[in-house]
Structure 1
Amino acid sequence: MQKSRTGVTDDAGRHAKWSGRLVGLVAVLAMVNFVVDSAITAPLIVLPEMLDHFGTDQPAWLNATAMLAGVAWAPLLGKSADIHGRRRVLVLALLLSCAGAVLCAVAPSIWLFVPGRMLQGASLAAVFLSVAIVRGVCAPRIAMIIVGIVTSGSAVLNIASRFLIEKLATQFGFQILFLGSAFVAVVMAICVHKLVPDSPVRTPGKIDFGGALLLGGGLAGVLGYISLGSDLGWLAVAPLALLVCGIAALARWLLTSSRKPDPLIDIRELSGPLVLTLLVVFLAAGSYQSVLQLIPLVGDVSAGQHLGYGLADQGSVALLLAAPGVGVTLGGPAAGWIAARVGPASTLAGAVLLGTVVTIGMFLGVSQLPVALCCGFLLGVTVGALGTSGFNMAGSLASPERQGIVSSLVMVMVSIGSVTLDFVGAAVLKSTSVVVDGETTRSVTGVFSYIAIAAGAFAIAALLAVRLVRSTRLGTGSPSRELQRDAV
């Protein structure tokens, strides 16, 4: 890479070193990712209040619809960003999230609230569009570090906001959460429009709306069955209809996308290393999400119940929920820094190996608080490192004009993995439950089986990650060579 006279940008006009403008860009994009939390996960805090308000006992409709819709939005918005510009589409995603939040705040019934949550799901695009913007305006070496900061930097804000949301919801009702989310989304949309530069790189072509509808609807249908089946019944009409329609849509998408000259995702151009990367992300994301789901469950049980696990009487269990957040904040930037030196493939493999070891450590962590705190923190580091490394790895394998759609695939795999492994873990716990003092509770067999499944998925991901490292070292277009060219 040839340095410019200022030494701050390269010949392509991309940021090559830290500057005031770059710091401002990072701050804006980190706050953009905070919008995602306020739209997707923060409503879990007021879930009981929402169930009472709408008079329903189906929490999945109130919560899961945002994530499912986000998976459906991702490919469409990713492709649109490559064609029409990443900044423009990011602003659109934030405004859609704002509109959905307002709709949720004023919804008189669940039938209006659910469409609002579906609009909020568009905010999920903010994660991968932020990554695509960073890779477009920054040189590869510094981009890897910034991706870690942007995707993980809002974790501390997420922890702090939980306490504020809980207090405000008590005083003003759960609607205040959605009004706050709408306000943050519109403010960040203005900031992105005013402060974030747009990449001049464009992909010629048009958007395959039919393919987007088939792929997004198919993914949402299959995941909807997995997410809603446990609440509504696996053989109930609505979940089964979602599953059948989802499979049919995906089959139709595969058939038509192989024939179109400009499909939404050209599966013929998916390289072996990219497919390996997506598989690693799918398995690892699902594994760490399932373990994170297990931590509060074992933290709610006392060892005095003699179930063979439990942490409730060993100290401040609240630390269990805070430790992963701190780890995420550190793990993302650290993974970016390491990737800039050894390459994203090796960093991704290291993150997966760390996750495997930490998950195995949870066999002791479910009954010993110090071990659980250590594992929780390291699992957070794993989460941050995996997200950063996954985006960096996929981005390094994509051409500049395909950064949006490729980054969206990473987000889709994270979501699918999380939903799938969460379901598998929940099913294991339910099938192995025992009755103690007249109450049904989770058995130690179920808890250990749960951990074993997560560790097994991590181990498979580790094997795939090692193969990925070998394939990128042998490949002519490997990320390591991209970094070498950047250093010239």
Structure 2
Amino acid sequence: MPDNTAEPGETTPVSRPNVIVAVLAIAGIGVSLMQTLVIPLLPELPRLLDASASDTSWAVTATLLAAAIATPVVGRLGDMFGKRRMLLASLAVLVAGSVVAALSQSLAPMVVGRAMQGLAAGVIPLGISIMRDELPKERMASAMALMSGSLGVGGALGLPAAAFLADNADWHVLFWASAGMAAVCFALVARLVPESSVRTGGRFDGVGAVGLSIGLLALLLAVSKGADWGWTEPLTLGLLVLAVVTFLAWGRWELRTREPLVDLRTTVRRQVLVTDLASVVFGFSMLAMSLVLPQLLQLPEATGYGMGQSMLAVGLVMAPSGLVMVAMAPISARITDTKGPKTTLMSGAVIVAAAYGLGAVLMSEIWQLVLVSALMGAGIGLAYGAMPALIMAATPRSETAAANSLNTLMRSIGTSVASAVAGVILAHMTTDFGGVALPSQDAFRLIMGIAAGAALVALAIAAFLPRHTAAGAAEAEPALAGSRA
């Protein structure tokens, strides 16, 4: 039986829900900033770290891999030992990783620091789960929409800030700033966020954690580095085979062990499974904007379709998407409360598909890209606000952190696949510009079209969600308990 009691003195009455929501959202934004922190530095990293461009790409890859591995593990630990406790641990690792990167002068410590920053990715699903445990029912939908949307908000708003700092200060300042923000978030959480009384107790599934980590590491390494290594090279193919074999063995173990890392019986429930599948496709669709718009803005005007803008301008063009995500949180909650999260998710898919459809046609002026970016933010804000509501309505209260973490992982897998697909397209559909091969305009249009198609696939997947979704976990508990009996 789950241990739903708190340690003495850990739980305090939730008298200030607005404060809790604000603190958790700020922490989520701070963690998501790590996604875009090094983007303005990428062209200069080989010189700054005295390494090849291929090697310095690990400053991005290490964060991705660490986040994928840490998210489900930290979620399960949060359910077992306390969500606030693991939230604080994640933020502490983020501070330490930022300091390591800030002190780095060579590639190895930079990669270590960036990997440590990636280990903090569990903050957002942990925050959503704390909201479920601590907030009044009428506040949950809007709060979860805001917290889930912070994943995109930090990425969108972080790019112009990082570009400004990179252009006007020593590059180490970027990491000192991230360390300072993480430290502030740690202090705010420690002071203002109560510990949840909902615990599962039990024993941690170490074998399951190792198996899942190996499978994810093999899969994401193959997907993220396949374009550099070659998709038909033995290393790439070997990693893909290793991922398949590992996941099959891991799934068998999780089904047979008494206290699994991931309760696959809950995961394959229709509502959870369909939401996770839609999250993969949405993650794929979301990343395309981040790959296409910056390149269109930065390519030389002489190409006929590039706009010759700086990285700071790129950040300012993409920032409206993050602001719109924040603005969409109450709208997402209102639709969820009145029509259900299924309608919210499907509405977001339609808007995202429309945004990419417009983007395939409107890409000749900056205002057009701002419009596409803002419309994309509206669609993602709706969809990301609906996903945690769908997951938690079909998940036992004692497993919310693990379930939300798995859903976040599904989005990350989708973005990784999108990066690989877009990389292949941009590498093979090129135009000659002064002896240099640059991505062609048709390549960008094709990526936009594929992303629009992915959003429509997410729409079709979401159509299989149950028509009626329970508003909270309490309704789901009896059915889930019966399914495990």
- TM bin (shorter chain): 0.7 to 0.9
Deviation of the 1:286 alpha carbon = 1.0
**Equivalent residue, structure 2, for 1:48:** 43
Question: Judging changes above 3 Å, is the alpha-carbon distance between structure 1 residues 178 and 34 closer, same or farther for their aligned structure 2 residues?
Answer: same
Q: Which residue of 2 aligns with 1:479?
A: 470
Identity, in percent, stands at 25
Paired with 2:322 and 2:371, the residues of 1 have a C-alpha distance of 13
Distance 1:177 1:443, change over 3 A: closer
Letter in 2 for 1:42: L
Tell me, in whole angstroms, the C-alpha distance in 2 between the residues paired with 1:161 and 1:457. 26
* 1:23 aligned to which of 18, 22, 40: 18
- After TM superposition, give the deviation of residue 332 of structure 1 in Å: 3.0
Cα separation, partners in 2 of 1:156 and 1:68, compared to 1, 3 Å: closer
CA contact (8 A) 2:288 2:419 kept: yes
**8 Å Cα contact 2:157/2:315 also seen in 1:** no
Native 8 Å contact 1:99 1:119 kept in 2:
yes
Q: Supply the distance in 1 between the matched residues of 2:28 and 2:440 (Cα, whole angstroms).
A: 37
Give the whole-Å Cα distance in 2 for the aligned partners of 1:225 and 1:93: 27
> Using the alignment, how far apart are the partners of 1:463 and 1:483 within structure 2?
28
The answer to whether the Cα contact below 8 Å between 1:60 and 1:228 also exists between their aligned partners in 2 is no
Amino acid at match of 2:281: L
1:394 aligned residue: 391
Distance 1:374 1:148, change over 3 A: same
Residue in structure 2 matched with residue 33 of structure 1 by the alignment:
28
Corresponding residue for 2:8? none
Aligned to 1:299: 297
The equivalent position to 1:124 in structure 2, one of 99, 121, 126, is 121
Deviations 1:256-292 (A, max 9, x none): 2122111111212220111000111110121121133
| Structure 1 range deviating more: 141-150 or 73-82 | 141-150
**For residues 161 and 264 of structure 1, do their structure 2 counterparts lie closer, same or farther at Cα, with a shift above 3 Å needed?**
closer
* Distance in 1, Cα, partners of 2:165 & 2:255: 51
2:261 paired with 1:287? no
Shift of 1:149: 2.4
* Cα distance in 1 for residues equivalent to 2:61 and 2:432: 29
CA distance in 1: counterparts of 2:98 and 2:12, whole angstroms? 37
Q: Does structure 2 retain, via aligned residues, the 8 Å contact 1:311–1:366?
A: no
Distance across 1 between alignment mates of 2:154 and 2:121: 17
Tell me: CA distance 1:456–1:166, structure 2 relative to 1, closer, same or farther (3 Å). closer
Which of 246, 251, 256 lines up with 2:253 in the alignment? 256
133-142 vs 275-284, which deviates more?
133-142
CA distance in 2 between counterparts of 1:158 and 1:73 reads: 19
1:48 alignment partner, SS class: coil
Residues 222/324 of structure 1: CA separation in 2 closer, same or farther (3 Å cut): same
1:34 CA displacement: 2.5
Amino acid at match of 2:459: A
Residues 286 and 419 of structure 1 are in contact (CA less than 8 Å); yes or no, is this contact kept in structure 2?
yes
**What corresponds to 2:458 in structure 1?**
461
Q: Work out whether residues 133 and 199 of structure 1, in 8 Å CA contact, stay in contact via their aligned partners in 2.
A: yes
TM-score (normalizing by structure 1) = 0.86
Q: Report which stretch shifted further, 234-243 or 369-378.
A: 234-243
- CA shift for structure 1 position 54: 1.6
Q: Separation in 1 of the partners of 2:162 and 2:76? A: 34
Structure 1 441/63 Cα, relative in aligned 2: closer, same or farther at 3 Å?
Answer: same
Any unmatched runs of 5+ in structure 2?
1-10, 477-485
Q: Number of matched residues?
A: 460
Matches within 5 A, 1:367-378: 367-378=364-375
User: What amino acid maps onto 2:435 in structure 1?
Assistant: G
**What's the CA shift for 1:461?**
0.8
SS in 2 for 1:262: coil
Residue 85 of structure 1, CA deviation: 0.8
- The whole-number CA distance in structure 1 between the counterparts of 2:99 and 2:146 is 29
Pick the aligned partner of 1:86 from 65, 83, 100: 83
The answer for unaligned runs of 5 or more in structure 1 is: 1-11
Matches within 5 A, 1:264-279: 264-270=261-267, 271-279=269-277
**Which residue of the partner structure matches residue 432 of structure 1?**
429
In the alignment, the residues of structure 2 paired with residue 390 and residue 255 of structure 1 have an alpha-carbon distance, to the nearest angstrom, of 27
Amino acid at match of 2:26: M
SS of 1:441 mapped into structure 2 = strand
Look up the equivalent residue of 1:347 and give its one-letter code: T
Give the equivalent residue in structure 2 for 1:403: 400
State whether residues 344 and 479 of structure 1, in contact with CA within 8 Å, keep that contact through their aligned partners in structure 2. no
Q: 1 CA distance for matches of 2:160 and 2:256?
A: 52
* Alpha carbons 1:72, 1:219 under 8 Å: kept: yes
How far off is 1:78 after superposition? 0.4
Give the partner amino acid of 1:112.
P
Q: Which residue of 2 is the match for residue 342 of structure 1?
A: 339
